[in-house]
Structure 1
Amino acid sequence: MAGNSQRKGAVRKGTSKKGATVGSGGQRRRGLEGKGPTPRAEDRPYHKAHKQAKAAAKRAGSGSGTGSRGSGGRGGSSGGRRSKHSSEVVAGRNAVVEALRAEVPVTTMYVAGRIDADDRVREALATATSRGIPVLETPRGELDRLTDGAVHQGLAVQVPPYEYAHPRDLIDPEAPGIPLVVALDGITDPRNLGAIVRSVAAFGGHGVVVPERRSVGMTASAWKTSAGAAARVPVAMASNLTRALEDFRKAGFFILGLDMDGDVALPALDLAGEPLVIVTGSEGKGLSRLVRETCDQVVSIPMSSAVESLNAGVATGVVLYEIARQRSVG
């Protein structure tokens, strides 16, 4: 129709190409371009991993300061006591009950709403109530976040950072008996640390020293293995173990290294009656070079050829027993 033929755009010009007469502004071309690598889950604000990482960082920041050790807290150092680890959460019904039985200092207990209570839950609640530990009813989603997705079975407890003494605090002329301290060189298993703390308490020792680096700290696992002895035996942290041993030597202690390649067999030990620091090395590497050179004497434990070595906790217990035996008959 003539009228329609005059409408703009109704008739295609002979020189035009078939298709859109107006450009897309590059949108189609840009739509075909890649958007770069996919961000990590932790970097995506709405991803669960990002929220967990943010919550963990927040808890670590809030727990890095000086906190309460609970029962058995001991002396500090110049500039305040030091905490090597942030607070940790013990999750699971068995783990919580064992921690409470071992008198691990607990600040808070978290219980899921509408939890199916069994004997373990009832024991945990009764123990927490008798000790005045706050019990918080917590949604399961919040418990998942607090435990970083661990299998908590509706029950968890918070353990505060352990407050370490200073090595100089273990040099106490008024302490009863002949001074006896155990220092650990490269021990990384918390169960070994807990067992050593327990042996020190059993055989009249006065404390344990751990280095600040490349060493295990007093975690909830170490507390449990100590069976409550960590509430009575102070654990000190040394920024430099060799320097701390030199300080003990200046205070009149003899430094006794424990190594399977020792120069003296344990029964021939003649320093049992002196103030002692027993240094235990790791089961794999033994004593480090500088620590070994600092020792006044390095002793070994005679064993059957069928056994290559004892773990650090057992070996230290054997030496502590022999020293206590010699002191009792001396």
Structure 2
Amino acid sequence: MAGNSQRRGAVRKGGGKKGATVGSGGQRRRGLEGKGPTPKAADRPNHKAHRAAQAASKRSGSGSGGSGRTGGRKAPASSEVVAGRNAVVEALRASVPVSTLYVAGRIDADDRVREAIRTATERSIPVLETPRGELDRLTDGAVHQGLAVQVPPYEYADPRDLAHQELPGVPLLVALDGITDPRNLGAIVRSTAAFGGHGVVVPSRRSAGMTASAWKTSAGAAARIRVAQATNLTRALQDYQKAGFFVIGLDMDGDVELPDLELASEPLVIVVGSEGAGLSRLVRETCDQIVSVPMSSAVESLNAGIATGVTLYEVARRRR
């Protein structure tokens, strides 16, 4: 009845405002408050971009570490996974040092799959049948076609080790300054092996490394030629000079043309720069001579791998 103060809810609370006796506890008001800017996709734990960033971080390795020597060695990088039927077969044909072959369960086998399994078996490489979901995770979502191989990290030599090798012939090394394409590195390793070279030196930063792509391009020569990694390329070149080497740099504006190179019969380090920037300033200043490859004026420059091959051939010819 009207005016019955005993009826539940009939007495209004103090404060002078109308409204329900039992409120929302502030949930509605807090629900309307902003929560700040939306985090980036890579910062959200459940987002695909965050998982991809974590996987990329793992693949990049744990960074470089000093060894107490001038050349130094970078800390071991994480292993590399090569995915796809053609890529896997090519890697196996090129004798890339594969540690494991992964084959998806219930795979639709064709000639490439059969060749990959046969080659792995002949080389005593473990063959693991893997669920497709796990293979997706291992390849970080790449198109693997049910086939992938794991390539262990390359074990680089120390630059000083290349100066004291017990190998026949006059010592001949190649150093790369700013070469970032692994296929160029592979081609240079192959040319070094073909013309009697004894090793290749690469910087630990801003340089191509011995990936599966470099292994394939070298056509197996990487198994015979040692590749060293230098923390500081300029300092490594100075150490070679102290050990009795002459250091020559390749550049289109060289002081000496390749056919007139009188140092060919001496212990040599041939330094090759990138096609665009060429030799870096400190490396150029360290060289004993800057040598150019004569060519037609219709061509501005040579590919780094080709220029190295031409120079190595001329050095080998003059030494004979």
Same fold (TM over 0.5): yes
Matched, 1:234 2:263: no
Matched, 1:125 2:117: yes
The alpha-carbon deviation at position 288 of structure 1 amounts to: 1.0
Q: Quick one: distance in 2 between partners of 1:51 and 1:169?
A: 40
Q: Quick one: distance in 2 between partners of 1:188 and 1:60?
A: 16
Distance 1:2 1:220, change over 3 A: closer
Q: Is the 8 A contact 1:85 1:217 kept in 2?
A: no
* Structure 2 counterpart of 1:72: none
* Structure 1 counterpart of 2:108: 116
Matched, 1:26 2:18: no
Matched, 1:262 2:254: yes
Local SS of the residue matching 2:264:
coil
Q: Is the 8 A contact 1:112 1:137 kept in 2?
A: yes
* Structure 2 counterpart of 1:210: 202
Q: Is the 8 A contact 2:70 2:235 kept in 1?
A: no
Local SS of the residue matching 1:165:
coil
Letter in 2 for 1:182: V
Distance 1:192 1:173, change over 3 A: closer
Q: Quick one: distance in 1 between partners of 2:271 and 2:72?
A: 26
Q: How does 1:77-156 map to 2 (within 5 A)?
A: 82-83=74-75, 85-156=77-148
Letter in 2 for 1:284: G
* Structure 2 counterpart of 1:223: 215
Distance 1:285 1:58, change over 3 A: closer
The alpha-carbon deviation at position 119 of structure 1 amounts to: 0.8
Local SS of the residue matching 1:272:
helix
Distance 1:11 1:197, change over 3 A: closer
Letter in 1 for 2:303: N
Q: Is the 8 A contact 2:83 2:144 kept in 1?
A: yes
The alpha-carbon deviation at position 16 of structure 1 amounts to: 7.2
Q: Which runs of 5+ in 1 are unaligned?
A: 67-76
Q: Choose the corresponding residue for 1:296, options 288, 305, 308.
A: 288
Q: Is the 8 A contact 2:199 2:228 kept in 1?
A: yes
Q: Choose the corresponding residue for 2:162, options 170, 174, 181.
A: 170
TM-score in terms of structure 1 length = 0.88
Tell which deviates more after alignment, 166-175 or 184-193: 166-175
Distance 1:78 1:223, change over 3 A: same
Q: Which runs of 5+ in 2 are unaligned?
A: none
Q: Is the 8 A contact 1:97 1:124 kept in 2?
A: yes
The alpha-carbon deviation at position 64 of structure 1 amounts to: 7.5
Matched, 1:201 2:193: yes
* Structure 2 counterpart of 1:315: 307
Q: Choose the corresponding residue for 2:181, options 166, 178, 189.
A: 189
Q: Choose the corresponding residue for 2:266, options 268, 274, 290.
A: 274
CA RMSD after TM alignment? 2.7
Q: Is the 8 A contact 2:201 2:228 kept in 1?
A: yes
Q: How does 1:1-16 map to 2 (within 5 A)?
A: 6-9=6-9
The alpha-carbon deviation at position 11 of structure 1 amounts to: 8.0
TM-score in terms of structure 2 length = 0.90
Distance 1:83 1:193, change over 3 A: farther
Tell which deviates more after alignment, 50-59 or 227-236: 50-59
Q: Is the 8 A contact 1:83 1:163 kept in 2?
A: no
Q: Quick one: distance in 2 between partners of 1:130 and 1:190?
A: 28
Distance 1:276 1:220, change over 3 A: same
Distance 1:88 1:227, change over 3 A: same
Q: Where in structure 1 do 4 or more consecutive aligned residues deviate above 6 Å? A: 2-5, 63-66, 77-81
Q: Quick one: distance in 1 between partners of 2:193 and 2:100?
A: 28
The alpha-carbon deviation at position 8 of structure 1 amounts to: 2.9
Local SS of the residue matching 1:42:
helix
Q: Quick one: distance in 2 between partners of 1:177 and 1:324?
A: 10
Aligned length: 316
The alpha-carbon deviation at position 24 of structure 1 amounts to: 2.6
Percentage of matched positions with identical amino acids: 81
The alpha-carbon deviation at position 79 of structure 1 amounts to: 11
Local SS of the residue matching 1:271:
helix
Distance 1:187 1:17, change over 3 A: closer
Letter in 2 for 1:115: I
Distance 1:3 1:215, change over 3 A: closer
The alpha-carbon deviation at position 25 of structure 1 amounts to: 2.3
The alpha-carbon deviation at position 270 of structure 1 amounts to: 1.0
The alpha-carbon deviation at position 19 of structure 1 amounts to: 3.8
